[in-house]
């Protein structure tokens, strides 16, 4: 018989309330577990786990060198690092594509570029087409002039390490981007090695290991830097504009570290000349691709901010056309496994839409 005495009713109510609390807690636990399972399946972690076997199977496949895009992200400023890089990483994660990021290891002295008005051919017209204040912001343009330049890698060390943990490649983009761009061509051996040694030391401090890849700021390079990369056992470097991967020859010496040139124009070279809206520029970049290996340099300050829609539309269009995205370090491995690379001379010249000269594959 059911006991309806006050003490028994009270006891039943307590039991029901306790059961309710337990059910709520169980539901919360299950929800938390499913979130952590979802997080465990996020693309970046997946990328880390699958990269090696995928590369191994591609090394056995003779078609593995066709329809490849190497996305090379150049970070030029602290602003680009802080605001552009996280948005780019989120975009790549969303579409499951891999990329290589190159970060300056020294201070942001973007303000020093003001003097390029007098020293670089076409600087003003390029600056006008790109929209300098809109792209960099006033604060960045004062670094090195009225404001002290922040250290790009050290100030964003956690973000740099996160990129690496998520499976992206992180290489060096010089020490002081502006100084390298404007002076490296004429620096001597000691001056060049001092800059590179300091950049490598900051990289070690941030990443806890030696650097293995480098991309020259402004596509400017000298033979002392190439010798230093060889001495330090770099996997490859990406310092020039060109069409194919090769062993670089400069100053009468052929170096043993492969050179992966940027093969496509950059957005700042194309905007206003090849198109001015997302649709026409997407078409221009997709039409510029070859069926071999394509290296596209994007900038954290441009494609990572105002032009992120353009990059997403390019990624969607190229994935639909069967292109695959590889980190530059994986491209270097794939290419070297396919046979010896030819030696090509590095020269200096001009590319359409860019102010000043750049190093070119001859």
- The first and second tokens of residue 106, run together, are 């020294």
Cβ closest to Zn ion, residue 214 vs residue 228: 214
Contact region with Zn ion (CB under 5 A), list: 72-80, 85-93, 130-138, 310-318: 72-80
Q: CA-to-CA distance for 257 and 237, rounded, in angstroms?
A: 7
**Min. distance of Cβ 256 from Zn ion in angstroms?**
25
**Min. distance of Cβ 173 from Zn ion in angstroms?**
6
Cβ closest to Zn ion, residue 76 vs residue 330: 76
Do 238 and 262 touch, CB atoms closer than 8 A? yes
Q: CA-to-CA distance for 241 and 117, rounded, in angstroms?
A: 23
Task: Provide the 3-class DSSP secondary structure of residue 250.
Answer: strand
108 scored as a contact of Zn ion (CB under 5 A): no
Interface residue with Zn ion among 58, 73, 74, 221 (CB under 5 A) is 74
Cβ-proximal residue to Zn ion, closest one:
74
Do 71 and 299 touch, CB atoms closer than 8 A? no
Q: CA-to-CA distance for 84 and 282, rounded, in angstroms?
A: 20
**Min. distance of Cβ 102 from Zn ion in angstroms?**
7
Cβ closest to Zn ion, residue 217 vs residue 304: 217
CA pseudo-torsion sign 336, 338, 342, 347:
negative
Cβ closest to Zn ion, residue 74 vs residue 239: 74
> Do the bridges between strand 293-299 and strand 169-172 make them parallel or antiparallel, or are there none, so unpaired?
unpaired
Interface residue with Zn ion among 58, 64, 76, 289 (CB under 5 A) is 76
Do 74 and 218 touch, CB atoms closer than 8 A? no
Cβ closest to Zn ion, residue 64 vs residue 110: 110
Per rule CB under 5 A, count of chain residues that contact Zn ion: 3
Q: What are phi and psi of 100, to 5 degrees?
A: -120, 125
Tell me, residue by residue from 190 to 219, as one string, x for binding to Zn ion by CB under 5 A and - for no binding: ---------------------------x--
Binding site for Zn ion (CB under 5 A): 74, 76, 217
């Amino acid at each position: 018989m059911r006991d309806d005495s006050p003490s028994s009713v009270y006891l039943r109510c307590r039991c029901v309330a306790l059961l309710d609390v337990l059910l709520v807690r169980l539901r919360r636990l299950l929800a938390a577990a499913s979130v952590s399972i979802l997080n465990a399946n996020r693309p970046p972690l997946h990328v880390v786990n699958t990269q090696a076997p995928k590369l191994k199977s591609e090394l056995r496949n003779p078609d593995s060198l066709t329809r490849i895009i190497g996305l090379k992200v150049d970070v030029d400023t602290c602003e680009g690092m802080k605001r552009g890089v996280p948005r780019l990483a989120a975009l790549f994660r969303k579409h499951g594509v891999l990329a290589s990021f190159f970060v300056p290891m020294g201070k942001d002295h973007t303000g020093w570029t003001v003097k390029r008005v007098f020293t670089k051919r076409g600087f003003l017209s390029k600056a006008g087409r790109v929209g300098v204040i809109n792209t960099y912001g006033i604060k960045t343009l004062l670094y090195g002039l009225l404001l002290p330049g922040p250290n790009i890698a050290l100030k964003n060390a956690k973000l740099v390490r996160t990129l690496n943990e998520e499976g992206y490649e992180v290489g060096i983009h010089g020490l002081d981007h502006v100084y390298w761009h404007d002076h490296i061509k004429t620096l001597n051996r000691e001056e060049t090695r001092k800059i590179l040694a300091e950049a490598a030391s900051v990289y070690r401090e941030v990443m806890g290991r030696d650097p293995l890849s480098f991309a020259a700021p402004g596509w400017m390079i000298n033979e002392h830097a190439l010798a230093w990369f060889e001495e330090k056992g770099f996997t490859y470097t990406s310092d020039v504009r060109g069409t194919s991967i090769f062993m670089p020859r400069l100053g009468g010496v052929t170096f043993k570290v492969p050179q992966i040139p940027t093969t496509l124009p950059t957005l700042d070279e194309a905007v206003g000349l090849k198109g001015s809206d997302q649709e026409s520029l997407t078409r221009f970049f997709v039409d510029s691709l070859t069926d071999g290996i394509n290296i596209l340099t994007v900038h954290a300050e441009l494609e990572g901010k105002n032009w992120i829609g353009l990059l997403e539309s390019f990624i969607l269009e190229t994935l639909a056309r069967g292109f695959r995205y590889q980190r530059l370090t994986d491209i270097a491995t794939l290419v070297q496994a396919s046979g010896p690379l030819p030696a090509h001379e590095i020269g200096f010249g001009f590319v359409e839409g860019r102010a000043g000269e750049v190093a070119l594959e001859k």
